[in-house]
Amino acid sequence: MPGIKLTDVTKAASLLKKVVDRADVMKDGALSREEISYLREAAKGVTKDPKTLAALQGAHGFGRATGPQPLADVKKSIDDLKARVRAADKDGDGVLSEAEQKKLKTAGEKSLLGFVGVAKNHQVSDFTMPPPPPENRPRFKWNGSPPEVAQSLLAAFSIRSNDNHWPMWGTPYEQRGMSARYVIDVSEAKEMVQALKNLYPARQKSVLTELAGRTEVSVFGCAAVTPKAKPLFDAYAKSLGLSSLKFKNPAAPIMPNP
């Protein structure tokens, strides 16, 4: 087992943090086990290298994390692992000998060490990512209270990659699975309006009023209608005699500190 320079460990950690950004294929600001598993199936080249996947898994799972982890937390874990690996150089010669490497015990430390060889021969542009997996959006359900139907409408027709998301730890328990902010563009607005038009007029009015209310304030689960989509809702509301409804575009809600 050849010696490993500490400078190579530092370079590997720096590259791995950049790969973490790319591995967020769902673009929700977090890295999950599901995304890593998806890369194992759908990625190609060095991204699919077992040592790359192990390093991502090691960084994600450091500290016994199980759910989606904010990218900033994963990068902090990489820095912590780098410090631990560098600290194994007990003789201070700047190289981890075979004996020093064997003293590294955790899976995270070992996975970062394994990634050193990958990092020597690659740069961040080599780590190409597959497109996000297809969404399995639930079917729209018209039965229930207006708030329930409005939520079903958002879940069925809002495209996840457009929306803002919080990691599992920051999401209220009863609202897990929801987006922090549903961003409604033109194509989504057209689908929502068409779905609502199949309901009784009174039902259309109550659900559309609820949907407009979701655009009022920047809170978890709010909706944001883009400027180009707004005329579609305005025209639909006018056709129902609800011209006073306002469809706004609130900013994404601020996630609480862990």
Count of beta carbons in the 10 Å neighbourhood of residue 252: 17
pLDDT in tens, 152-210: 999 999 988 788 887 666 666 677 778 889 999 999 999 999 999 999 999 999 999 99
CATH code (residue 56): 1.10.238
Closest CA to 70 of 137, 188, 184, 168: 168
Task: Give residue 57's domain range.
Answer: 4-122
**Confidence (pTM):** 0.63
Q: Which residues, other chains included, contact 62 with Cβ-Cβ below 8 Å and sequence gap of 6+?
A: 77, 80, 81, 106, 108
The tally of domains found in the chain comes to 2
Are 111 and 157 contained in the same domain? Answer: no
Residue that has been written with the tokens 């609130």 in this structure: 250
Are 113 and 161 contained in the same domain? Answer: no
Are 110 and 74 contained in the same domain? Answer: yes
Are 108 and 192 contained in the same domain? Answer: no
Could you tell me if residue 255 is inside a domain? no
Are 51 and 101 contained in the same domain? Answer: yes
pLDDT in tens, 113-122: 999 999 999 9
